A and B are shown apart, each in its own frame.
Chain A
Amino acid sequence: MIDFTPFILSFKLAFFVTLILLVVGIPFAWWLSRLKSGIKPLIESITALPIVLPPSVLGFYLLVFLSPDSFFGKVIYDIFNIKLVFTFEGLVIASCIYSFPFMIQPIQSGFESLNKNIIEASYVSGKGFLTTLFRVILPNIKTSLLTAIIITFAHTIGEFGVVLMVGGAIPGKTEVASVAIYDFVETLDYKNAHIYSAIMLLISFTVLLAVYYINYRIKKKHGIG
């Protein structure tokens, strides 16, 4: 009998991370897309760092940053009585930072390629910013939003280095599927490693196929990105 706990943990983690990043990412990406000042390249570089940094490096810094000995970790522990290393909460925070660019970049490029005139057309139609955002701007970057959500979700499920560093591999708490596979291989349990890997492969492929197909359909119908 296969133990699905690591998969459930992976999905739970990916769900929370995607939800948090979506709420944070839309305003941040909007701000970044509108930014004209010279600090834009600096902000963009910091945002993109998790893409190029080795996950072990990021994981190491996060481990130090989140530990109860650090200022941030101490404040969180004192106020909420939550420990951020080797816990699920810590994993969520670390994963949010790790997956941040995967949410931001598609949404930002969606905002930047949007025809500015349709935003102004909404304003001269008497509509305020929020109505324009929800009825004109976001629906017209549907494919970018979908890409951002799915890639963030899939990327969080697939992460390994950061979760291992910050979460350890505590079964039932922080041992997600990708880490579990590593454990199986280490203990020479190839049978379970095969089963887990095949499931991960299937999930990843299905998710990507769904995204590309839906994007293809939306573009065909509305010609929008």
Chain B
Amino acid sequence: MVSVNITKTLHGSKGKMELNCDFEISKGDFLAVFGPSGSGKTTLLRVIAGLEKSKGEIVVDKKVWQNDKIFLKPQKREIGFVFQDFALFPNMTVLENLLYVNNDKKFALKLLKMGEILELKDRFPLMLSGGQKQRVALIRAIMRKPKLLLMDEPFSALDVSMREKLQNEIYMFHREFGLTTIMVSHSPGEIYKLANKVLEIDHGKIINFGDVSKILLKTNTSEKFSIEGTILDIIKTDVIYIAVVEIASRIVEIVLSQKEALNFKTGDKIIISTKAFHPNIKLKEKV
């Protein structure tokens, strides 16, 4: 079990902010931390890792990582940490990166095989693609056999198709090694796929905590479905207006009335929802 109850004063771009988080998760949980940028997500992760000092208590498997008297350094906390930019050691090959953490060659080779990157073991990080770096970073974090795996937006530097592959991989490692995982993420889709618990923070405060389905599937009105998008452009053609909207990296066109067209402008975030119609759903690819 992991229990965290910490406070820390942050000096961010929006001035002073109090990070205040109190939550518990069980062994084997996959917790996603999400919220707007600057809300304190990454700091929370760094505090748990011991990379930043904070007030309060962190207890993992009945072992105190920090309280009023004790503060374990990152070296003494049984963690694996995946950095946003992967932070591989450029002077070491892939295999050397792993053996630096834990000099167990058999285990390293096993993990490389599981991640399907065994053939890359003698390459230097400079010669790897983003997706490959990410896998190495993940495997390096697991080399320490951590009680707690911490990941800071592990997919943010990758393209969409690569994300999907790596999400499956992370899920596989999480289950295979019975890890307890905390991941900072922006993407609801990613969270829904990987996590079983969600912690939503804003301005350093927890505003939602619980099971994934309860938090992500909430809707405010009686809409049958609703999606969010960003207006990229509004084009007038003859008598109608067409809004070009980006929805989850896809571009779609939506017809607007004149009244709507006047209300919205480029860059606005909008919610597109429907009640009355049943959407057409066709199979695109069978799994």
Contact = CB atoms under 8 A, between A and B. Distances in A.
B58 interface: no
B88 A123 contact: no
B90 A140 contact: yes
A126 B79 CA distance: 9
B83 A123 contact: no
A213 to B, nearest CB: 19
A222 B125 CA distance: 8
A12 interface: no
A222 B81 contact: no
Interface stretch (A56-64, A95-103, A114-122): A114-122
For this complex, into which size category does the number of interface residues on chain B fall? 20 to 34
Nearest to A221: B124
B8 interface: no
A222 B91 contact: yes
A118 B124 contact: no
B91 A142 contact: yes
B87 A118 contact: yes
A121 B89 contact: yes
B85 A126 contact: no
B94 to A, nearest CB: 13
Interface in B57-84: 73-75, 77, 79-81, 83
A139 interface: yes
Given A117-B87, A118-B88, A136-B89, A124 B124 contact: no
A74 to B, nearest CB: 47
Interface string A104-133: 000000000001011011111111100000
B126 interface: yes
A115 B49 CA distance: 18
A127 B143 CA distance: 13
Nearest to A223: B126
Interface residues of A, number: 21
Contact of B75 (A115, A128, A136): A128
Contacts of A135: 100
Contacts of A121: 81, 83, 87-89, 140
A155 to B, nearest CB: 27
Contacts of A139: 91
Nearest to A115: B87
A125 B87 contact: no
B75 A123 contact: yes
A127 B75 contact: yes
Interface centre among A126, A139, A223 (most CB of B within 10 A): A126
A124 B91 contact: no
B144 interface: yes
A224 B89 CA distance: 10
A117 B85 contact: yes
B114 interface: no
A126 B75 contact: yes
B247 interface: no
A123 B73 contact: yes
B251 to A, nearest CB: 34
A123 B91 contact: no
B51 interface: yes
B144 A125 contact: yes
Interface in B113-151: 124-126, 140, 143-144
B101 A125 contact: yes
A126 B50 CA distance: 12
A128 B49 CA distance: 15
Contacts of A222: 90-91, 124, 126
Contacts of B74: 120, 123-124
Nearest to A128: B75
Contact of B85 (A115, A127, A221): A115
A6 B92 CA distance: 43
Nearest to A119: B87
- Can you list the 3 inter-chain pairs with the closest CB atoms, starting with the nearest? A117-B87, A223-B126, A139-B91
9 contacts: A121-B81, A122-B100, A124-B49, A124-B74, A125-B100, A222-B91, A222-B124, A223-B90, A224-B91
Given A122-B100, A125-B101, A125-B143, 6 more contacts: A118-B90, A121-B81, A124-B79, A127-B75, A222-B124, A224-B90
